[in-house]
C-alpha cells in the first residue's frame, strides 16, 4: 500500500488548509465566550456573525435566518420537531419519503409515538418521488413536508423547486435536508421556496461537529433543547466558535470555486462509471444517470458481498462505502436500495464512490484497476 486513496467524500471531507488557518486562533488565543459582554467575548461574537453572513450569502438567505447547530442530524431534528411541536394546534400530519437519511426517518418515527401521523412516500426505480402522489397525500392536517435535496447513497437530486411550490400553494412548511447538496448544487432558498434547510460542515471541507439550519423568517418553530438563550433562543448551548468560523469560511470557498470544483467531480464520476460498465460484467448503476450529484456513483456488483468488497479495497489503501456512514454498523441491505426496488442480491453488492477535491484521474484509474481484479477474485470463490 503506497498511499491512501480516499473516495468517500459523502461520508466526510478533510478540513481545508485555508479553513483550518482561519479557525486556529479561536482554539486558544481568542477563547472568549461570544455570549459575554466584555471585549474578548464581543470580538468572538463578531466572528460568529461574519460566519452567519457567509452561510446566508451562499444560499440566498438573510443572516437572521441562519441558526448554528452541532451537525446535520441536529439540524434535521430541530427543523422537524421544532415545526411539529410549534404547529400542533394546526395539525399533526407530516410527509416525507422512504429514502431519507436516518436523521429524518428516525425523527419522524419518534414523532409518531407522540401522536403525529407520518406519510412515507414511495420512490421510483431512480429514487424520485412522484409530485402527483405528493399532492394527493396532502391533508387539512398536513403541517410539514420534508424531502431531501439529494440522496446521500444514490445521489439522485429531487425536484426541490416543484416540491417547494406545492408546499407553498397549500400553506405547508417545506424542509429539505441539503447535507449532501451544499457545495455540489447551487441553492437559493427564496427561489426554490424552501422554508427550512439543513446542512453539515464536514461535507464541504469544514470540521465535524458543526452544522447550520436555515429557517425562513416568520416560520413558526420552537427550540427542542432546554438551556440558555443562544441562537436567538432557538438552540441552547455555548457556540462552537472555531467550528462556526470554519463552516463559514468553507461554504464561502466552495461556492467561489463552484464551477471548477463540480466540473472536476463530474468528469471523474462519468469516467469511473463508463470504465466500470465497460470492464466489469453484471453491474448496475443505482440512481438517475443525469440528475445526480456530480461526485456520486453508486454501482451494484452482482454476486458480491459489499462488506467483503470494502475489506478488499481497504487492503489496497482505498476508502469507499456501501452506503450511509450512519448505518455502517448494520448488516441489512440499504433501505434506500430496497426502496428503489433493487433485488437483495444487487443491494448487498452496492459500492458508493464519492469524489472530492484531492482526487485525480490517476487515483480513479487505480480504483478501477483494483475493482476489476478484486471482483474477479471474489466471484471466482463463489
b/e map of 192-210 (b: 16 or more CB within 10 Å)? bbbbbbbbbbbbbbbbbbb
> Whole-angstrom Cα distance, residue 20 to residue 118?
41
263 burial via Cβ count (<10 Å: 0-12, 13-18, 19+) = exposed
User: Is-contact 232 87, C-beta < 8 A?
Assistant: no
> Whole-angstrom Cα distance, residue 38 to residue 290?
53
> Whole-angstrom Cα distance, residue 101 to residue 103?
5
Identify whether 326 is a catalytic site residue: yes
User: Is-contact 68 211, C-beta < 8 A?
Assistant: yes
Nearest 5 degrees, angle CA 82-CA 88-CA 92? 100
> Whole-angstrom Cα distance, residue 109 to residue 62?
32
Nearest 5 degrees, angle CA 375-CA 378-CA 382? 130
What Rg, from alpha-carbon coordinates, does the chain have? 21
Classify 60 as helix, strand or coil: coil
> Whole-angstrom Cα distance, residue 359 to residue 276?
17
Outline where DSSP puts E strands in the chain: 5-6, 66-69, 93-97, 117-121, 142-146, 173-177, 196-200, 211-215, 283-285, 296-301, 318-319, 350-354
Residues 6+ apart with CB under 8 A from 161: 191, 192, 193
> Whole-angstrom Cα distance, residue 180 to residue 362?
25
The catalytic site residues sit at: 326
Amino acid at each position: 500500500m503506497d498511499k491512501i486513496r480516499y473516495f468517500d467524500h459523502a461520508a466526510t471531507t478533510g478540513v481545508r488548509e485555508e479553513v483550518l488557518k482561519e479557525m486556529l486562533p479561536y482554539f486558544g488565543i481568542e477563547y472568549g465566550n461570544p455570549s459575554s459582554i466584555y471585549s474578548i467575548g464581543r470580538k468572538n461574537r463578531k466572528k460568529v456573525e461574519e460566519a452567519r453572513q457567509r452561510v446566508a450569502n451562499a444560499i440566498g438567505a438573510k443572516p437572521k435566518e441562519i441558526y448554528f447547530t452541532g451537525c446535520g442530524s441536529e439540524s434535521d431534528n430541530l427543523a422537524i420537531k421544532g415545526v411539529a411541536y410549534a404547529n400542533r394546534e394546526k395539525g399533526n400530519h407530516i410527509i416525507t419519503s422512504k429514502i431519507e437519511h436516518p436523521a429524518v426517518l428516525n425523527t419522524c418515527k419518534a414523532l409518531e409515538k407522540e401522536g403525529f401521523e407520518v406519510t412515507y412516500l414511495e420512490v421510483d426505480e431512480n429514487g424520485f418521488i412522484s409530485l402527483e402522489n405528493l399532492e394527493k397525500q396532502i391533508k387539512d392536517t398536513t403541517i410539514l413536508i420534508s424531502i431531501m435535496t439529494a440522496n446521500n447513497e444514490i445521489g439522485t437530486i429531487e425536484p426541490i423547486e416543484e416540491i417547494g411550490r406545492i408546499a407553498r400553494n397549500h400553506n405547508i412548511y417545506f424542509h429539505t435536508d441539503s447535507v449532501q447538496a451544499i457545495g455540489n448544487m447551487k441553492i437559493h432558498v427564496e427561489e426554490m421556496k424552501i422554508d427550512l434547510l439543513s446542512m453539515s460542515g464536514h461535507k464541504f471541507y469544514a470540521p465535524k461537529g458543526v452544522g447550520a439550519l436555515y429557517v425562513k423568517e416568520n416560520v413558526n418553530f420552537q427550540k427542542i433543547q432546554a438551556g440558555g438563550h443562544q441562537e436567538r433562543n432557538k438552540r441552547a448551548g455555548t457556540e462552537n466558535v472555531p467550528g462556526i468560523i470554519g463552516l463559514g469560511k468553507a461554504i464561502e470557498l466552495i461556492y467561489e470555486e463552484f464551477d471548477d470544483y463540480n466540473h472536476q467531480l463530474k468528469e471523474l464520476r462519468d469516467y469511473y462509471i463508463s470504465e466500470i460498465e465497460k470492464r466489469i460484467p453484471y453491474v448496475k448503476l443505482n440512481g438517475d444517470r443525469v440528475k445526480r450529484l456530480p461526485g456520486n456513483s453508486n454501482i451494484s456488483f452482482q454476486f458480491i458481498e459489499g462488506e467483503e468488497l470494502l475489506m478488499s479495497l481497504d487492503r489496497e489503501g482505498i476508502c469507499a462505502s456501501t452506503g450511509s456512514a450512519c448505518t455502517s454498523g448494520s448488516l441489512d441491505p440499504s433501505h434506500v436500495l430496497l426502496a428503489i426496488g433493487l433485488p437483495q442480491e444487487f443491494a448487498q453488492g452496492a459500492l458508493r464512490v464519492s469524489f472530492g477535491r484531492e482526487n485525480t484521474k490517476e487515483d480513479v484509474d487505480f480504483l478501477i484497476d483494483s475493482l476489476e481484479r478484486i471482483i474477479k477474485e471474489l466471484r471466482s470463490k463463489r
